[in-house]
Amino acid sequence: MQRIGVFVCWCGTNIAATVDVKAVAEALGKEPGVVFATDYQYMCSQAGQDMIRDAIQEHNLGGVVICSCSPRMHETTFRKTAEKAGLNPYMVEIANIREQCSWIHKDMPTATEKAIILGRAAIAKVHLNAPLTAGESPVTKRALVIGGGIAGIQTALDIADAGFPVDIVEKKPTIGGKMTQIDKTFPTLDCAACILTPKMVEAAQNENIRIFSYSEVDSVKGFVGNFHATIRRKARYVKEDVCTGCGLCTEKCPQKKVPNEFNLGLDNRRAIYIPFAQAVPKVATIDPNYCTMLKSGKCGVCAKVCTAGAIDYKQKDELIEEDYGAIVVATGFNPIKLDHYDEYAYSQSPDVVTSLEFERLMNAAGPTAGTLLRPSDGEHPHTLVFVQCVGSRETRDCGKPYCSKICCMYTAKHAMLCREKYPDTEVYVFYIDVRTPGKNFDEFYRRAVEEYGVHYIKGMVGKVVPENGKLKVQASDLLSNEQIHIDADMVILAAAIEPDESARSIATMLTASMDTNDFFTEAHPKLRPVESPTAGIFLSGVCQGPKDIPETVAQAGAAASKVIGLLAKDHLMCNPCVAEANELMCNGCSSCEKVCPYGAITYSDKEFPGPNRTRVLRRVASVNPAVCQGCGACTVACPSGAMDLKGFSTSQIMAEVDAICK
Amino acid sequence: MQVNNEFKPTIVAFCCNWCSYAGADLSGTNRLNYPANVKIIRVPCSCRVNPMFILRAFQRGADGVIICGCHPGDCHYTTGNYYARRRMTLLFSMLDYLGIEKGRTRVEWVSAAEGAKFAATMNEFVETVTKLGENKRLEDLRCKN
């Protein structure tokens, strides 16, 4: 029997307010094997840890039970403390009496009773703990960045700067992401392209960065330090290394009626296209859905005009296999579809546009060369109505419950730019709240109101009706409690943003968790904001939650520094809580091998003592501890009970069950 | 059987480390109440839950057992929750045959972000088991002191 020490933490008043910590320590002190039990205000503090260390040495403890917060919080802390005192770190068990007891129960006797039972279960388990030693696994010193927007580019640049090779996988024909479509950025009103395109070029020229544009990640296997990814380079029917990007083919292609996604369908492009002038890589791509040559075999104009001979109609998707040590998710966002918001007449009138479409209409490289014109008749608009929170902070099913964060600021920007460029316009902004937390944000918003004379009206637009070439806007002013009618020329909707549609399948592929809105979950909302709970997966940009460009760049840098920290290591400590086969009980049936998701189980013939002093050869399973991730599927599949999981052994869990049901 | 209003069932909840245990932590962080009868055992994955553990719990006097894992497709170990689902479907129908009502056993998917769902699930489960009353069917009275 182990000599066990029990340490009950007050966590200030977090635990002590609802759990009688002294009573818990006293009750647990009477459990079999417990030779020392105490309580302290903050066990995780230096003084608390010293107390644990001293007690281990003084009482020659063989096992430690800490009744405190969740093991997800401080298990590692207390394991390190035990290690410093000379105890194997895996002889520490945590009873979660904060998140799963004191914080959910209000009644002290009930909470105390439950805390004692949870403590008992931990004591019962620690009796059966065995010292474990972590093995090591090598680290592949290369990172994969999924998504080539500003988040992905910044992460890749920072990792590459530290000397590690990085691959960017971008599903579109060019990197750059949403920022390429933006005209100016708030609150400085500097040109988005002027600050982004040099970064795109820098990424392309950096010898440590490889860009796989028009590519997708097909599959990812493995674990931290040892991922194996398959990247699908979609056929663009143009040889990337031969195309010079002269653009002649995009002028001569006879298929002219393809909606241009870069301008959100506000104008058309050809079937062979370069998304925009500063695209990286600047290579043409054939859209197989529209190319007549690919569809019917008749045309071939682009191949005829291409002097470099880059066109290849027979190109096939190419699969690339590569090993990575770390993966960064930077999949970004999209504005939501506005099908469910027909009260704003988005589908009925071309003059009702989303903010991103408005961004293109104001952009010098956009469909109107930067002159603001009504999409319906090309006339100059005089009255513009901006509607905020379209789909954000929405309790209906079709909307998003969260604040999209960027809309207040870009609407102020649009309104300001509009008034600056066209002083003859009247600009109205309907809002629920104006949210401007950020450096120089509120000053910016106030400038829009005070200097540029933008009419901000607190209230929501009820309906937009297209009538006689105008948009009749019906709204209510919540402050004066009046109904307002405005005959507008254009209505601009600040659509909520949502994670890119590929995020869900990528999360499944990486086994990284997501929240209910499909944003990636971070390992800790405050202390580990750029790491996914899955080791080796990092988060950058809006895929983790709505944020603006400076925040995205900051997070991208943070993700990069975490990746660099990982790649700088030659070896990683493996999780020692892995499966182990008892060779004497194993009969080599292969049940475990079939359920193992990692292929960690192999079989070999081994000699065992047989009857009458003979030796017999038997096929037995063995687990590769560097590959096993410790899920425990095999332990249940094994019909003879030969497979067990260290740290979560059958006897340990049974002991916990017994302690709880006692 | 006489329904005792004071009856407080013993509930064992097996929670996977990556989703449901974190979900349970989140319901604590958000101070969402659920009855103290629920005691959680942390397992790496729902597929670590051996049917034996559930039988053992009922043998030792548990009134209900719930297994929580990641949502299908979101398992940290890719496929673990599928194994758990199959195994438990089989086991629960066998337990039903033995007279342990289906209401006493449950598999539920709770993600790390679903603190509210965890608390709601536990409240509902405790209510169901309380209505079913004490479980005597598999209990081995020799195990009680």
What is the pTM assigned to this prediction? 0.84
Nearest to A529 by CA among A514, A540, A513: A540
Q: Chain A contacts of B85, Cβ < 8 Å?
A: none
Name the residue type at position A523.
A
What tokens does A622 get? 């063995």
* Closest residue on chain A to B26 (Cα): A99
Nearest CB neighbour to B60, from listed A71, A629, A661: A661
The pLDDT confidence band at residue A654, using thresholds 50, 70 and 90, is: very high
What tokens does A21 get? 């910590």
What is the rounded average pLDDT for all residues in chain B?
A: 91
B34 with A104: Cβ contact below 8 A = yes
pLDDT, average across residues B131-138:
88
**Nearest-CA distance B105 → chain A (Å):** 15
Q: Which pLDDT belongs to residue B145?
A: 55
pLDDT, average across residues A586-609:
91
The DSSP line for A498-546 is EE-TTHHHHHHHHT--B-TTSPBPPSBTTTBTTB-SSTTEEE-GGGGS-
Lowest-confidence pick of A322-331, A377-386, A516-525 = A516-525
Domains of chain A, residue spans = 4-126, 143-230+319-332+500-567, 248-305, 335-496, 579-646
Q: Which pLDDT belongs to residue B5?
A: 61
pLDDT, average across residues A419-443:
95
pLDDT at A89 over 50: yes
pLDDT, average across residues B97-109:
94
d(CA A306, CA A311): 7
A511 with B73: Cβ contact below 8 A = no
Number of Cβ pairs closer than 8 Å across A and B? Answer: 160
A636 with B12: Cβ contact below 8 A = no
Q: Is the dihedral of CA A547, A549, A554, A560 positive or negative?
A: positive
d(CA A219, CA A275): 27
**Percentage of chain A surpassing pLDDT 70?**
100
The pLDDT confidence band at residue A363, using thresholds 50, 70 and 90, is: very high
Query: How would you list the strands of the sheet with B11-16, edge to edge?
Result: B38-43, B11-16, B64-69, B105-109
Q: Tell me which residue has tokens 């559930």.
A: B54
CATH number for the domain running over A4-126: 3.40.50
Summary count for chain B: helices (H), strands (E): 4, 4
Q: Which pLDDT belongs to residue B35?
A: 95
Query: How remote is the C-alpha of B24 from its chain's centroid?
Result: 13
Nearest CB neighbour to A636, from listed B10, B40, B48: B48
pLDDT at A315 over 90: yes
**Percentage of chain A surpassing pLDDT 90?**
90
DSSP letter at A290 equals: T
Angle at A586 between CA A581 and CA A589, to 5 degrees: 110
Nearest CB neighbour to B19, from listed A513, A633, A636: A513
Q: Is the dihedral of CA B128, B131, B132, B133 positive or negative?
A: positive
What phi and psi values does residue A218 have, to the nearest 5 degrees? -80, -45
Largest CA distance in chain A: 106
3-state SS, one letter per residue, for A361-418? HHCCCCCCCCCCCCCCCCCCCCEEEEEEEECCCCCCCCCCCCCCCCHHHHHHHHHHHH
d(CA A181, CA A56): 61
Of 3.90.226.10, 3.40.50.620, 1.20.120.80, 3.50.50.60, the CATH number of A143-230+319-332+500-567 is: 3.50.50.60
B50 with A635: Cβ contact below 8 A = yes
CA distances from A309 to A214, A234, A300, A316, B37 (A): 20, 19, 12, 17, 74
Q: Which pLDDT belongs to residue A381?
A: 96
d(CA A224, CA A138): 10
A508 with B79: Cβ contact below 8 A = no
Q: Chain B contacts of A597, Cβ < 8 Å?
A: 77-80
Q: Is A38 helix (H, G, I), strand (E, B) or coil?
A: strand
Name the residue type at position A518.
D
Over residues A273-291, the pLDDT tens digits come to: 999 999 999 999 999 999 9
pLDDT, average across residues A543-558:
96
Q: Which fold has domain A335-496?
A: FAD/NAD(P)-binding domain (3.50.50)
Domains of chain B, residue spans = 11-139
pLDDT at B2 over 60: no
Q: What is the ipTM of this complex?
A: 0.95
What tokens does A8 get? 């009950």
Q: Is A82 helix (H, G, I), strand (E, B) or coil?
A: helix
pLDDT at A398 over 90: no
d(CA B45, CA A633): 8
Residue A457 near residue A415 (C-beta atoms within 8 A)? no
pLDDT at A545 over 90: yes
DSSP letter at A497 equals: E
pLDDT at A299 over 70: yes
CATH number for the domain running over B11-139: 3.40.50
pLDDT at A135 over 90: no
Over residues B40-93, the pLDDT tens digits come to: 999 999 999 999 999 999 999 999 999 999 998 788 888 899 999 999 999 999
Q: Which pLDDT belongs to residue A533?
A: 84
Domain pair A143-230+319-332+500-567 / A335-496, same fold: yes
pLDDT at A380 over 70: yes
Mutation for testing the B interface, residue in A228, A537, A631, A646 having most B CBs under 10 Å: A631
- Which residues numbered 64-103 in B keep a CB inside 8 Å of some CB on A? 70, 73-80, 83, 87
**Nearest-CA distance B73 → chain A (Å):** 6
CA distances from A219 to A145, A297, A628 (A): 14, 33, 19
Strand runs (DSSP E) across A57-128, as ranges? 63-68, 92-96
Angle at A155 between CA A154 and CA A157, to 5 degrees: 65
Query: How remote is the C-alpha of A436 from its chain's centroid?
Result: 25
Over residues A56-69, the pLDDT tens digits come to: 999 999 999 999 99
pLDDT at A55 over 50: yes
d(CA A513, CA B31): 22
Q: Which pLDDT belongs to residue A534?
A: 86
Query: How would you list the strands of the sheet with A537-539, edge to edge?
Result: A209-212, A166-169, A143-146, A326-329, A537-539
d(CA A72, CA A589): 36
pLDDT at A343 over 90: yes
Q: Chain B contacts of A104, Cβ < 8 Å?
A: 27-28, 31-34, 36, 119
**Nearest-CA distance A548 → chain B (Å):** 23
Nearest to A303 by CA among A283, A290, A316, A286: A286
pLDDT at B3 over 80: no
Q: Which pLDDT belongs to residue B144?
A: 64
A511 with B75: Cβ contact below 8 A = yes
d(CA A327, CA A168): 10
A632 with B111: Cβ contact below 8 A = no
The pLDDT confidence band at residue A250, using thresholds 50, 70 and 90, is: very high
Residue A205 near residue A269 (C-beta atoms within 8 A)? no
**Nearest-CA distance A306 → chain B (Å):** 46
Over residues A205-219, the pLDDT tens digits come to: 999 999 999 999 999
The pLDDT confidence band at residue B1, using thresholds 50, 70 and 90, is: very low
Query: How remote is the C-alpha of A264 from its chain's centroid?
Result: 25
Q: Which fold has domain A579-646?
A: Alpha-Beta Plaits (3.30.70)
Q: Chain B contacts of A595, Cβ < 8 Å?
A: 47, 79, 83
Q: Which pLDDT belongs to residue B119?
A: 96
